[in-house]
Amino acid sequence: MADVVVVGAGLSGLVCARRLDEAGLDVLVLEARDRVGGRTLNEPIGAGRVVEMGGQWVGPNHAEILRVAAEVGVDTFPTHIAGQHLFAHAGRTSRYRGHIPSRIPLGVLDFRIAQARLERMARDIDLVDPASTPLARRLDTLTAETWMRRHMHTQSGRRLMRLSIKAVLATEPSELSFLHWLFYIATGGGLDSLIRTDGGYQQDRFVGGSQAIALRLADDLGDRVRLSSPVRRIEHRSDGVRVHSDAACFDAAAVVVAVPPHLLTMIEFEPALPAACNQLSHRMPPGMVTKFVAVYPEPFWRAGGLSGHATMTDGPISMTFDNSPPDGSPGALVAFALGDDARALERLSAEGRQEAVLDRLVELFGPRAADSVQFLERCWGREQWTRGCYAGFFGPGGWTSFGGTLRRPDGRLFWASAETAVHAHGSMDGAVSAGERAAQEALAAVGVVPPVVR
């Protein structure tokens, strides 16, 4: 019998298990996939180099993931951003510097005024319980799209704001609760912090790829991590839990479920979860993102004075970055298809998607972009054990009806995952802090430390 079973070997579950292990508990991690890391994933691009197909960037305010990376000996390096960026809008591509394209001054002004207003409103958000923010219900029943239509005055400004929302949450503003958008701005330390490279969320990457952190955490835990062990059923009683996976069935004093809320529908609970918790699992859908990486012998765009970063308001991809390894060899461009664009690309064959993405890269970076030596794609909506990314978000009414159950323990059941984080919600940093918090709760439940005061 283990003290605690952790379901899911993403960053959240692995960090939780590490803390429980450090406290002297007997811990077991059950992972559905045949690998660890969940939404972080490295793909080889030759000569021992990798690119990240899942979460990859960290910013200066991501202290939790940076601390864990340092603990397991994974360094960071700056995202390559030197040079001019590209902005493709209304059929024309132009160059710019800074982090907002300046070609459409009225649109930029409209965007900046809206940003200031959003950041003012975000300062009032109660991060621990957004539903108790003043006027929460009113904010929660609006979509971000409705707010933009009411409060922004130019089509180009709205297109910039739509692009920012898609880039940050991988969802359409029409699907998103306005309260969730404000919460996300607050949890990320402001809109600039969310969209910036220097000084923001995209500032740094991990040497050897972000999945290296999960791989090292799992190495340290050794055979206490069981792969290919999807958890199908959890029986929970006042004196313990029984966790049924495809591999075996395990008894423990407590269980930490470290999977995103929408995947709870794939686990049977006995007795059934409270109604609000059951419903929450249907009310926090993930965004939709397909990530493409085109690999080249060298980062040829740098010689032309380009950074490799491009933003586009008219699809089929919305942004690109230079994703080459630290020494720039080989060259790699990462491209993101987000929300409806990613859904539209799913209707094409793999060859059709590759052609559509490379054609767009050629329009942006010139004919050499057609000559990729390797082309990778990862549609996270197609992944059985993820089903969409970057993270779960709330649509209209979600926070005020279901937010209160997001991380509330139920007897011997505890909840982790990036979606349960207060700070840097939905990110790798959030995954780590949620894992640490759930570990503290589980330790209190088995009597190792006093209960956590929330």
Ligand X SMILES: Cc1cc2nc3c(=O)[nH]c(=O)nc-3n(C[C@H](O)[C@H](O)[C@H](O)COP(=O)(O)OP(=O)(O)OC[C@H]3O[C@@H](n4cnc5c(N)ncnc54)[C@H](O)[C@@H]3O)c2cc1C
Among 159, 180, 291, 353, binds ligand X (CB under 6 A): 291
350's tokens: 């793999």
Give me Rg for the CA atoms of the chain.
22
**Measured from the CB of residue 190, what is the shortest distance to ligand X in angstroms?**
16
Q: How many CB atoms lie within 10 A of CB 227?
A: 15
Binding mask 212-231 for ligand X (x = CB under 6 A): ------------------xx
Q: Which is nearer to ligand X, 121 or 167 (CB)?
A: 167
**Measured from the CB of residue 273, what is the shortest distance to ligand X in angstroms?**
14
Question: Which residues is 296 bridged to in the sheet?
Answer: 331
Q: What residues contact 293, with CB distance under 8 A and at least 6 apart?
A: 43, 45, 51, 53, 323, 332, 333, 334, 335, 374, 375, 376, 377
* Number of shown-chain residues binding ligand X (CB under 6 A): 41
Could you say which residues in the range 360-399 bind ligand X, by CB under 6 A?
380, 385-386, 389-391
Q: Which is nearer to ligand X, 157 or 403 (CB)?
A: 403
Collapsing DSSP states into helix, strand and coil, what is residue 232? strand
Question: Which residues is 254 bridged to in the sheet?
Answer: 4
CA 153 to mean position of chain CA atoms: 31
- Span of 67-75, 103-111, 401-409, 427-435 interacting with ligand X by CB under 6 A: 427-435
How large is the angle between the packed helices 144-151 and 155-169, nearest 10 degrees?
A: 160
**Measured from the CB of residue 171, what is the shortest distance to ligand X in angstroms?**
13
Please give the Cα distance from 218 to 18 (Å, whole number). Answer: 9
Sign of the C-alpha dihedral, residues 248, 254, 256, 257? positive
- Span of 52-60, 235-243, 319-327, 351-359 interacting with ligand X by CB under 6 A: 52-60
Please give the Cα distance from 220 to 185 (Å, whole number). Answer: 35
- Span of 5-13, 104-112, 325-333, 343-351 interacting with ligand X by CB under 6 A: 5-13
**Measured from the CB of residue 201, what is the shortest distance to ligand X in angstroms?**
6
Q: What is the DSSP letter of 175?
A: G
C-alpha closest to that of 126 among 173, 175, 176, 182: 182
- Span of 184-192, 365-373, 402-410, 422-430 interacting with ligand X by CB under 6 A: 422-430
Could you say which residues in the range 302-361 bind ligand X, by CB under 6 A?
none
- Span of 54-62, 75-83, 323-331, 367-375 interacting with ligand X by CB under 6 A: 54-62
- Span of 2-10, 306-314, 400-408, 446-454 interacting with ligand X by CB under 6 A: 2-10
Among 74, 169, 241, 431, binds ligand X (CB under 6 A): 431
Among 255, 267, 280, 356, binds ligand X (CB under 6 A): 267
**Measured from the CB of residue 308, what is the shortest distance to ligand X in angstroms?**
16
Please give the Cα distance from 432 to 428 (Å, whole number). Answer: 6
113's tokens: 């005024």
Q: Which is nearer to ligand X, 372 or 420 (CB)?
A: 420
For residue 425, state whether it binds ligand X (rule: CB under 6 A): no
Q: What residues contact 98, with CB distance under 8 A and at least 6 apart?
A: none
**Measured from the CB of residue 20, what is the shortest distance to ligand X in angstroms?**
15
Question: Which residues is 341 bridged to in the sheet?
Answer: none
Please give the Cα distance from 454 to 370 (Å, whole number). Answer: 54
**Measured from the CB of residue 245, what is the shortest distance to ligand X in angstroms?**
7
Among 177, 281, 417, 440, binds ligand X (CB under 6 A): 417
Among 258, 284, 332, 338, binds ligand X (CB under 6 A): 258
**Measured from the CB of residue 446, what is the shortest distance to ligand X in angstroms?**
21
Please give the Cα distance from 192 to 214 (Å, whole number). Answer: 28
C-alpha closest to that of 305 among 96, 51, 99: 96
Among 18, 19, 33, 158, binds ligand X (CB under 6 A): 33
Among 79, 320, 427, 440, binds ligand X (CB under 6 A): 427
Q: Which is nearer to ligand X, 43 or 145 (CB)?
A: 43
C-alpha closest to that of 440 among 453, 430, 423: 453
DSSP letters for 287-316: --EEEEEEEESS-HHHHTTEEEEEEESSSS
C-alpha closest to that of 49 among 287, 279, 250, 208: 208
Among 18, 42, 45, 56, binds ligand X (CB under 6 A): 56
Could you say which residues in the range 9-28 bind ligand X, by CB under 6 A?
9-13
Question: Which residues is 4 bridged to in the sheet?
Answer: 27, 254
Q: Which is nearer to ligand X, 39 or 412 (CB)?
A: 39
DSSP letters for 384-395: TTT-S-S-B---
Among 260, 261, 330, 396, binds ligand X (CB under 6 A): 260
Residues binding ligand X (CB under 6 A): 7-13, 30-33, 38-40, 54-57, 230-231, 258-260, 263, 266-267, 289, 291, 380, 385-386, 389-391, 417-418, 426-429, 431
